[in-house]
Amino acid sequence: MIGLDIAVIGSGMAGLATARILKDAGHNITIFEALPGRGMDSHSIEFEDGLIDAPLRVMNPHLWKNTLSLATHLGIKTYPVRTYMACSWLFEDRTETWLTTSRTRIGNFPIINNRKGIQQYGWRLVKGMLQLKTAIAKFFKSKNQDITLAEFINRNEIEEVFWHGAVMPVLYTICTCDPKTIGEWPAKPLLVFLRQLTDGDALLRLQGGTPALVDKLIEGINIQSGAAITRVHQQEDGVIVENSEGQSQTFDRVVIATPTTKVQDFLDNQQFAEDIELLKQFKFEQGDLVIHTDQTVMPPKRKDWSVLSYMMDRKFTRQQFTVWLNSIEPTLVGKSPVFQTWRPVTPIDPKKIISTVTLTRAVVDSKTVALNKELQQRHHQDNRKVFFCGSWSCDGLPILESAVTSAMHIAEIFGAPLPFIDLKPQVEVAPQLGY
């Protein structure tokens, strides 16, 4: 199958990756986006002539393998970043930093670099690290790996301060979901992530950030933005796609790359009743990412500031994390300190808020694993003309990697080649960030 007219609805990472792969395979692609611009980088903004990526994206070369390979195929270079962290207790009248880390120059392994962390928590953190590595090794040798993260924790004794004070905040950073929800996730992908993290792999960032990636993904592709799709109706000779401006086009195939909560707005309810019923069972969570210049989200002492700042109460019931953007984005070096805080539990000065972005994240649990298998089976039905993809349609972390993997599943259906597989990222010397 080559030379088909294909509509891709949605310009998030899944939609853009699908469009790029199918375009390069010889198909005619039109992308539809309800927002005025591109969905993938719609929240990226300029700050003091620098770039704020929202959300900021840094990637482990093993866990974001397909995403980084695709970026390399498109000619986008990367640079390494060192993600130091600081953890602080939230008391009623003060904030107290109890742990700061850095990484070794050789091997990029995390190390404690504050006296209080070493004296009060050093042994507990080291003990927790050893317990986690042992538990992970035992898990991957076991026959039953179909358990949740909560079940994994219940089966293994891991030091509380290490697990809840240092490990779980990192998982919140990656998964951006509710603490209770993360316990329901399949343990395997999260433990793969933790194993790579504790083995000292450096993280990579794309040069030019998300906008640079989007520019390459849509190169030479027709994108129609600013009008929501209102109807998708399948006929014998194709699929009719209509938008809110009353425009109608017929395509050979349609790929829907939006959250499943959106499909009921435009899918023909009678034709796609079974698909809609299946897609309704996927669950999503929303949360606010606040971009601001309020320094109270960081440790009280400037010397303790790190790329990642975690704040929590002593019972681990109130938690937030903040990314210090200037320490990772070269175009923000020398500019006013600017931050991204996910679901803040401490008040942020409204006058210092630049923007608030509501992010939607798929919930991953044992039920979605089964739903995904059924969805992939449906994709291979005879005379199928409408397909679905997104980070929600892959088991694993609901991030860029899952979105790219879902696009690869669509490519397989269309017999489209994947020339970027296993390409290694083009890593350049890290820019001098000055922190």
| The pLDDT value given to residue 41 | 86
- The least confident of 85-89, 178-182, 361-365 is 178-182
Model confidence at 6: pLDDT above 60? yes
From CA 116, how far away is CA 303, in angstroms rounded?
14
Domain ranges of the chain: 5-38+218-282+364-414, 48-206+284-362
Q: Pick 172 or 304 by higher pLDDT.
A: 304
Are the CB atoms for 306 and 110 separated by under 8 Å? Answer: no
Residue 122 parent element (H or E) = helix 122-141
Check if 5-38+218-282+364-414 and 48-206+284-362 are the same fold.
no
Dihedral of alpha carbons 179, 184, 187, 189, sign: negative
> Average pLDDT of the chain?
87
What is the percent of the chain with per-residue pLDDT over 70, rounded to a whole number? 91
Are the CB atoms for 110 and 99 separated by under 8 Å? Answer: no
pLDDT tens sequence across 354-402? 999 988 888 777 788 888 889 999 999 888 999 999 988 876 665 788 8
Residue 218 token pair: 């849509």
DSSP 3-state of 225: strand
- Those residues with Cβ within 8 angstroms of residue 416's Cβ, 6 or more apart along the chain or in another chain: 21, 22, 24, 25, 27
CATH code of the region 5-38+218-282+364-414: 3.50.50.60
From CA 432, how far away is CA 411, in angstroms rounded?
39
| The pLDDT value given to residue 113 | 66
CATH code of the region 48-206+284-362: 3.90.660
Residue 85 parent element (H or E) = strand 85-90
Residue 14 token pair: 């899944």
Are the CB atoms for 170 and 101 separated by under 8 Å? Answer: no
